Amino acid sequence: MKTTLAFDVYGTLVDPMGMSRLLEQDACEQAAAVAGLWREKQLEFSFRKGLMRVYEDFGVCTRQALRYAMAVHQLELSKAREDQLMAAYLSLPAFDDALPALQALKGQYPLFAFSNGSYPALEKVLGHNNLLDQFDSLVSVDDIKSFKPDPAVYTFARRATGAWDSPLCLVSSNAWDVIGARAAGLSAIWVKRDENRVFEDWDIEPSAVIQSLSQLPESLKALNT
């Protein structure tokens, strides 16, 4: 039975830390720290909104997190500059291994992008990196008005991809996403891009661990044998 692949986007296919370079104009030597806190709070805000059942799309979380990160570092942005950075977020750079891996898998597995991002944001960031055409379709939590790792979101992914009676495997560099998928009954491959990253000890393990998406075809073969 053919496995359907659901790829996380932010952190897995495109790099949120790519904003560091643009933030040098606003934060100078603090740019990397601001970018890191921006990403951390973007996720935290989405988790909290999901738990509180006060859904606002991922772009809202992203903007609120940017404001928070700047405030923590006692920096200010004009509204126009904030809008510029938010627009730039739709052009985040892809990791070098993303396109070759998708091209190698296309036609062999059903491929879906599965993200907390909205459809317009996904279309722009994936299209900007020539990744959009590699997918059979997109799956956004915006349809269900919650965020990963809500179990309902992974159940929705089964419905949206048509993988009710066939295996659905998440591919993500985010350990919390892998844990959420595994807890919801999906297979999940962790892309451990940082060799120093530690997987949380929750007695939930990834189905496989790879260091690069280039290793994905062989990892999938091993899982399916």
Active site residue ranges: 8
The tokens for 58 are: 């991922």
* DSSP one-letter string for 128-153: HTT-GGG-SEEEEGGGTT--TT-HHH
Determine the number of helices (DSSP H) and then strands (DSSP E) in the chain.
9, 6
Cis peptide before 149 (omega within 30 of 0): yes
In angstroms and rounded to an integer, the radius of gyration of the C-alpha atoms of the chain is 17
The tokens for 131 are: 């990744």
Q: Angle of helix 58-72 relative to helix 31-52, nearest 10 degrees?
A: 130
Amino acid at 115: S
Instruction: Please count the CA atoms within 13 angstroms of the CA of 162 that sit on its side-chain side.
Output: 10
> Is the Cβ–Cβ distance between 95 and 213 less than 8 Å?
yes
Q: Please state, in angstroms and rounded to a whole number, the distance separating the CA atoms of residues 137 and 191.
A: 21
